[in-house]
């Protein structure tokens, strides 16, 4: 009998815990914020944005929720669409980084606030390169650039165009390495930059929905030839690391002179001492290595929509944007004129003039598998 009673109460408690979140209601004055980004972003919000925002806006608190990944955010987006249909409370106000085109038809249904018309006081400061439609607030960015060892390569001689880079790699065999394109964005975007190069640097040639097997063959084949031609001049005669971090490690061990790296990872590695102070960063000037901005979206049917808009405006202040640079190692979402002059000077080499964004979807599959089948093997290594 005792055992049964225990089972009953335990079962009841478990059922109660399952039901509990369902009973939670959005509170006025508490912004429900969701992210699908990595831990470093959540840390940045917990340690920097939240205290600063709450201090500046008494009466408003932030409820930071980790949705896990982009798929998690999309599930909450779906829920918000459903909530809108029944005029219910979506229990969400702002997504840290999300594409307003998802869930499909959300913009047409009026799920997201039109930021352009929302009257943010800092809206005009946003970097024109960063916009992706009117429904999101770009507030941080990251781009792949070249990180190199200034003790071995004079910054004055660092390659400034892709052709220079190829020439430099061939002239200095064994001093460059990039990671497998599916294992990390630094190598992945280096490969994509090579694809742009052989297609006349025409970024408009690739969009999410213009993929076809024939187009891919025509566009990618020359890139594979270019990369295969490059392979013998890479580190160890054609080795590829298994991710962003192993590439940084090889650079820090001084095994190579130059790698492609994410700007935020490289800046963070330099500030934490993983990479030495003598690490130089350079972006190609003919067409930058690809990257992207992270853009927040605000739900129009959220209970705290107005507070969330205040938060979005706050994100674009110099205080937070400088922190994006110094604490997060990302790019500011605002134009560089709105960043403090000393920071602007410190990071002048990495200030992007162009940020190409390569489409995902079927192209990504074609690039990853094509690279593995064409570039990775067929190398005679001694």
Partner 1 sequence: MIIWPILSAIGRTLWLPGADGVSRFSLETYVFFFSDQYSINNLMVTLWTTGVCALLLLPICLPIALYLRFAKGRLAAYVQGLAIFPMFVPSIILSYAIIRVLGPNGTVDLLFNSVGLPKIRSPYLTPWGPVIGLVWDNIPLTVLILLSGLGAVSDQSVEAARDVGARRWAVLWHIILPRITNSILVAISFTVLGIFSAFTLPYVLGPAAPEMMGPFMQRTFRDLNDPTNAITQAVISFAFCIVFGLFYVRSVAKNRKT
Residues lying near partner 1 in the complex (CB under 8 A): 180, 182, 235-236, 239-243, 246, 249-250, 253-256, 365, 368-369, 372-373, 376-377, 381
- Closer to partner 1 by CB, 248 or 323: give it: 248
Task: Report the nearest approach of partner 1 to the CB of residue 370 (Å).
Answer: 11
- Which of 289, 286, 305 shows the shortest CA–CA distance to 141? 289
CA-based nearest residue to 129, from 354, 338, 359: 354
- Residue 17 in tokens: 């815990």
Q: How far is the CB of 202 from partner 1 (least distance, A)?
A: 26
User: Which residues are bridge partners to 334 per DSSP?
Assistant: 126
Residue 318: CB minimum distance to partner 1, A: 38
* Residue 235 Cβ vs partner 1, minimum distance, rounded to whole Å: 8
Report the residue number, 136 or 244, with the smaller CB distance to partner 1.
244
Q: Which helix (H) or strand (E) holds 369?
A: helix 362-374
Nearer to partner 1, 131 or 372 (CB): 372
The helix/strand/coil state of 378 is: coil
* Nearest to 33, CA basis, from 306, 300, 293, 308: 308
Nearer to partner 1, 65 or 239 (CB): 239
Burial 244-266 (b: 16+ CB within 10 A, else e): bbbbbbbbbeeebbbbbbbbbbb
Q: Nearer to partner 1 by C-beta: 51 or 361?
A: 361
Closest distance between partner 1 and the C-beta of residue 376, in Å? 3
Distance separating alpha carbons of residues 284 and 194, to the nearest angstrom: 12
Q: Identify which of residues 216 and 343 has a Cβ nearer to partner 1 in the complex.
A: 216
Provide, rounded to whole angstroms, the least separation between the CB of residue 107 and partner 1: 27
């Amino acid at each position: 009998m005792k055992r049964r009673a225990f089972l009953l109460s335990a079962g009841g408690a478990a059922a109660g815990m399952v039901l509990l979140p369902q009973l939670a209601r959005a509170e006025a004055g508490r912004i429900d914020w969701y992210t699908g980004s990595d831990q470093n972003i959540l840390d940045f919000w917990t340690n920097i944005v939240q205290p600063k925002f709450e201090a500046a806006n008494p009466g408003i608190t932030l409820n930071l929720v980790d949705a896990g990944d982009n798929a998690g955010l999309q599930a909450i987006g779906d829920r918000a669409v459903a909530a809108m249909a029944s005029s219910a409370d979506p229990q969400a106000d702002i997504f840290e980084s999300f594409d307003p085109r998802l869930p499909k038809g959300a913009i047409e249904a009026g799920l997201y606030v039109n930021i352009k018309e929302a009257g943010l006081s800092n809206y005009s400061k946003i970097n024109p390169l960063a916009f992706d439609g009117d429904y999101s607030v770009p507030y941080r960015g990251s781009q792949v650039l070249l990180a190199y060892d200034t003790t071995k390569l004079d910054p004055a001689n660092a390659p400034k165009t892709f052709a220079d880079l190829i020439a430099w790699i061939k002239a200095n065999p064994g001093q460059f390495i990039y990671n497998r394109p599916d294992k990390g964005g630094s190598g992945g975007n280096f490969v994509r930059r090579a694809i742009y190069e052989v297609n006349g640097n025409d970024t408009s040639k690739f969009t999410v929905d213009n993929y076809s097997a024939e187009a891919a063959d025509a566009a990618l084949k020359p890139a594979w030839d270019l990369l295969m031609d490059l392979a013998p001049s890479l580190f160890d005669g054609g080795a590829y690391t298994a991710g962003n971090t192993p590439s940084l490690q090889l650079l820090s061990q001084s095994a190579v002179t130059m790698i492609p790296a994410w700007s935020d990872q490289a800046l963070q590695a330099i500030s934490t001492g993983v990479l030495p102070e003598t690490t130089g960063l350079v972006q190609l000037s003919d067409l930058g290595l690809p990257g992207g901005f992270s853009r927040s979206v605000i739900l129009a049917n959220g209970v705290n929509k107005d507070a969330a808009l205040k938060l979005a405006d706050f994100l674009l202040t110099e205080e937070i944007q400088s922190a994006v640079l110094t604490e997060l190692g990302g790019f500011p979402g605002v134009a560089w004129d709105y960043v403090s002059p000393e920071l602007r000077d410190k990071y002048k080499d990495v200030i992007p003039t162009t940020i190409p964004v390569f489409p995902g979807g079927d192209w990504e599959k074609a690039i990853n598998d094509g690279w593995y089948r064409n570039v990775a093997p067929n190398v005679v290594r001694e």
